[in-house]
A and B are shown apart, each in its own frame.
Chain A
């Protein structure tokens, strides 16, 4: 099979893969290396071709790789190429033009090595996770590996797209495995209680789960990076919850917003709130040591501490943002 696939690659010769964004992390099959050798096959080196030609060639070579399966995924099913060239560009349109996301404190996220990003969760639909992924990919050059609820992995389409975007199930084993690989892992400890809270409770952090994220960070000996997402609360203001319907559909809640289900499908368009995402200073847990993960009191105290830090960051950032929709 390998022999089969080498041939089309050679046939592409000069075709260079043009990164969708500079500094994207998607691996590029030897194409770039082969560019030098392309003179031998009679085509001009790619740099001399006009931009349209190059774009077409890169589009075709991308399509070719997708059609022949010539791309790699990791054990979690993360497909960096698909993520960088299909999934993230879709999200980036929302990120840039709809929510006009602004970032603060980028220097607080380590450039490499395992780290656990802990953020507040809100918005009825987890767009905050997607926007965070765009932020770390575009501005930190690191893929964000989010830990999601098992519900995500039961829903057709969402299940495999979440995996292809690099996310996985929120369980200690997966978190530990990702952190051991030196990945930037993101978690929303509030879970459904956070994302599904009524609009009246906006920006009030819910309980931070049972502190599993602290245990994980302690065991993996990685820093916790507190993160405040401001703006997600207003995208789908949940003013009521149809509990019986939610139970029927097996969902944690069935939201009623000012536009949904009143306006039908149009009600699914998120409101264009202004977003600010702030990364706080890394909280090193090195003083405690990995054995502290087995001491519930330490874990509870650290969990409360992280929650207070994130809450304070949310309030500060909220003040700086000013009006929600302008």
Chain B
């Protein structure tokens, strides 16, 4: 204090003698009350408070766990028929029913795992088929979404970032693909992929075992469905490009790679994430539709769609064969839809205000 000159009468300087140093207690009050929150953390917190979204997460985690953890421990697989398992005659078992041979084993005091959901018409354990079918459907959804994200983000980011003529040409291409009737193209491709896989040189290879439907769904998602994502990312990149902080970053000498990595990607990641989450149910829908048409996974591999399709013949006698896989599809798609909306509300509040 003494170092400072005393305030001169007409000076505009603050009179330092009326100030006193802050006590340590007062200094503590200055410290931040709340930890700083990043955009991502903020969104997660909002999401965690949303009961609907959290119950969807729980349902999805449960279904995924059942589909991926249970199979190795499950005593039955999806392809062994009762004929090859234990007796000469195939037996169409109801819920918790035992085949004659299993009944004999039980009578002899041995333990036999019950067929919780019975079997299908060939005597294959239905619970196992539903579990494996769910697994296939989930895999299709996630892999397809991954393909869409990879291609769409790359294409959109390049188009938006480069701009000009390149952008124009790339976006014309996107427009063109966007206007193709996707389902018809999917069917056409599935038919041909199926044919090539079964009659062509690839017959019997690993790809062929995956099933023409799966392969063509992945091809088609890689060819067609990324355009929505590309448009989205391009729009995002374009609007980011005109923001001041990018200009500031450029002014400070940052290169393209730095700007893309540090500014573009972190700022569009939530939009990409939400759109990808909504892509999964659409892939599962497509797969079940193709399976129903007989273009999906190859026999004997089950998918939820093919299980529902096979159950058609037993609608009058065993409706549960239909209801169980259908319930599974329903739960998965419903949870993903609701979670997607929840994600959007949590991470992109502007969209919520705009309605929808």
- Bind each other: no
Which residues of A come within 8 Å of B, CB atoms? none
Which residues of B come within 8 Å of A, CB atoms? none
